[in-house]
Amino acid sequence: MPKAYYIGTFIHSLSLTTLEIVEHGIICVSNGVIKSIHRVGKDYSESDSTLPPSVLLQTLGHDDSNNTPPPTIHITPKNHFLFPGLIDTHIHASQYPNLGLFGKTTLLDWLNKYTFPLEASLADPVRAKRVYSHCVRRSLQNGTTTAAYYATQSARSTNILTDVLISLGQRGFVGRCAMDSDLQPEWYRDMSPEAAEEDTSACVAYCKKADQSGRVRGVVTPRFAPSCTRETLCRLGRLLAAGEQEGLLCQTHISENKSEVELVKELFPECSSYAQVYDVYNLLTPRTVLAHAIHLTEEEITLVKSRGSGISHCPVSNMALGSGNLWVRRLLDEGVKVGLGTDVSGGYDVNVLEAARMACLVSRSVAEGGVTEDGKGEDSKISVEEALWLATRGGAEVLGLEGKVGGLEVGMVWDAILVGADEVPFDHTPNGRGNGVKMPTEAHHEGKKSKIGGKVDFFGWESWEEKVAKWLYSGDDRNIRSVWVGGELVFQK
Ligand SMILES: Nc1nc2[nH]cnc2c(=O)[nH]1
Ligand SMILES: [Zn+2]
């Protein structure tokens, strides 16, 4: 891979509450890894796009005397910025065809009515390939560079998802759903704990063999406690421990819905809580991703924190299935790792940005507009900066990829997106916004074709902070212009 220089504006999270906005930057990427970052005073974007590369390279000190292949140079156009790729910590690729289909169901009847029949149908490999390819393409197109996927109970179908990820270039984790309890329909379950363990191992091994680069990895996936017998949970806990050295992850669901919590109490009366069920079977580890976690008690949060497990916050799904509102600030304050999940198709959108803005809105609902006795006050609100941190750095932490993806830093891989929006032609007044600002020009109203389209309109007076906020709240796949994973261009408009 030749060296690549990315020149223009880049933005990423420095901390939970701070975005770094570098208007004029140069990022050098070699073999898919960020080698250097220059924060320069000169604007190389747009108007300088004709700057001869040789001049630019001299400025950067690039040595082309020893026959190194010429680098590629990418100059971000006006109103565009580079951003770390989005990270989806929880998505069911197998449920993609059911996006938006949930009627008035809630979790337990939704699983039986909509989800299990669809997932079971993907035992047909032709169907599985079609569904997975479509889902992964859509995910990439929306700027997701890393995703933690659930496939189905079928090992064969799960391995097809692995193949699709490898061929489309997304970084990802692939989990076969282990589910052998007799609460599962007889036509969609593992036949025994032995089979559940064997098929899980086989899928993890398949990833290892098919992708030696480690970009696509298997993940131990007990669907959720009610789907699994004690014996299966025990076997999966052992498998997870055996994979500790190589960083094998575990993913599952927890405390999503109140009826589910009650069901777990009935099924595992010997355990003091839902979190304890996983803990007893050694499934609560620093490499465990717990989806939802809405109804965890204070004691459970303390347990999850002490085990170092991470939470995938899935606000779109939580709203759609009426599961409840996660009080995410409490988890952040307790120091629990938190990332975002689309939870397709409990969630109706494959776009992590939808999860990020919904995280903001749900947090405002939790805050209920003021300080309340239970402590869910103003401070519960999640800001734009925090939502974007959850969508990138937070997700990386949850998936054990911190230091590798989620930010734009020397040593991190180039998993990045180019975000852009059109500027509405505007008659500017000397003082910019407000007083005297005229409406968009006639030419614009007459349908002058926009380059990008989409719902994000920049009027030319916004600060970069405001542009980012507009993107968060109104952006969609139309604003994602390019997507790179490990330095490779995997999607471009
Ligand atoms: N949202 C969601 N929750 C679950 N709990 C067990 N399985 C599922 C699933 O497929 N989606
Ligand atoms: Zn889920």
pTM of the model: 0.94
CA distances from 259 to 109, 226, 328, 401, 424 (A): 11, 11, 21, 33, 49
Beta-strand ranges (E) seen in 366-464 are 416-420, 422-423, 457-458
CA distances from 474 to 52, 237, 319, 393, 445 (A): 36, 42, 19, 21, 20
CB of 253 sitting under 6 A from ligand 1: yes
Angle between helices 155-168 and 125-141 (to 10 degrees): 40
Classify 370 as helix, strand or coil: coil
Report how far residue 393's alpha carbon sits from residue 466's, in angstroms, rounded to the nearest whole number: 21
Tally of CB atoms within 10 A around 152: 29
**CA nearest 6: which of 37, 50, 43?**
37
CB of 252 sitting under 6 A from ligand 1: no
Beta-bridge partner residues of 29:
4, 34
Tokens at residue 342, please? 């689309």
Strands 422-423 and 457-458: parallel
CA of 8 from ligand 2 middle (Å) equals: 38
CA of 110 from ligand 2 middle (Å) equals: 12
CA distances from 24 to 98, 150, 254, 281 (A): 43, 40, 44, 51
Classify 404 as helix, strand or coil: coil
Residue type, 350: V
Report how far residue 48's alpha carbon sits from residue 310's, in angstroms, rounded to the nearest whole number: 44
Per-domain residue ranges for the chain? 4-78, 86-398
Helices in 380-423 by DSSP H: which ranges? Answer: 384-389, 395-398
CA distances from 155 to 123, 128, 263, 294 (A): 9, 11, 27, 30
What's the confidence (pLDDT) of residue 438?
46
Beta-strand ranges (E) seen in 226-287 are 249-254
CB of 256 sitting under 6 A from ligand 1: yes
Cβ burial of 277 (10 Å; 0-12, 13-18, 19+) is buried
Please tell me whether the interface predicted TM-score (ipTM) of this complex is above 0.90: yes
Please give the span between the terminal C-alpha atoms of the chain, in angstroms, as a whole number.
21
What's the confidence (pLDDT) of residue 441?
45
Classify 199 as helix, strand or coil: helix
Report how far residue 58's alpha carbon sits from residue 459's, in angstroms, rounded to the nearest whole number: 35
CB of 394 sitting under 6 A from ligand 1: no
Tokens at residue 201, please? 């191992």
pLDDT in tens, the chain (493 residues): 889 999 999 999 999 999 999 999 999 999 999 999 999 865 444 444 445 555 566 666 665 566 678 889 999 999 999 999 999 999 999 999 999 999 999 999 999 999 999 999 999 999 999 999 999 999 999 999 999 999 999 999 999 999 999 999 999 999 999 999 999 999 999 999 999 999 999 999 999 999 999 999 999 999 999 999 999 999 999 999 999 999 999 999 999 999 999 999 999 999 999 999 999 999 999 999 999 999 999 999 999 999 999 999 999 999 999 999 999 999 999 999 999 999 999 999 999 999 999 999 999 999 975 556 677 888 899 999 999 999 999 999 999 999 999 999 999 999 999 999 999 876 555 555 544 444 444 444 444 555 888 999 999 999 999 999 999 999 999 999 999 999 999 999 9
CA distances from 128 to 79, 121, 167 (A): 39, 8, 15
Tokens at residue 462, please? 């916004």
Report how far residue 260's alpha carbon sits from residue 323's, in angstroms, rounded to the nearest whole number: 10
* 362 contacts 354 by C-beta, under 8 angstroms: no
For the stretch 115-148, pLDDT in tens is 999 999 999 999 999 999 999 999 999 999 999 9
Ligand 1 test: best mutation among 95, 106, 109, 111, most atoms within 8 Å of CB? 111
Ligand 1 test: best mutation among 102, 256, 267, 294, most atoms within 8 Å of CB? 256
Report how far residue 345's alpha carbon sits from residue 316's, in angstroms, rounded to the nearest whole number: 10
The CATH number fitting domain 86-398, selected from 3.40.50.300, 3.30.1360.100, 3.20.20.140, 3.90.1150.10: 3.20.20.140
Beta-strand ranges (E) seen in 215-324 are 216-220, 249-254, 288-292, 310-313
Report how far residue 13's alpha carbon sits from residue 133's, in angstroms, rounded to the nearest whole number: 31
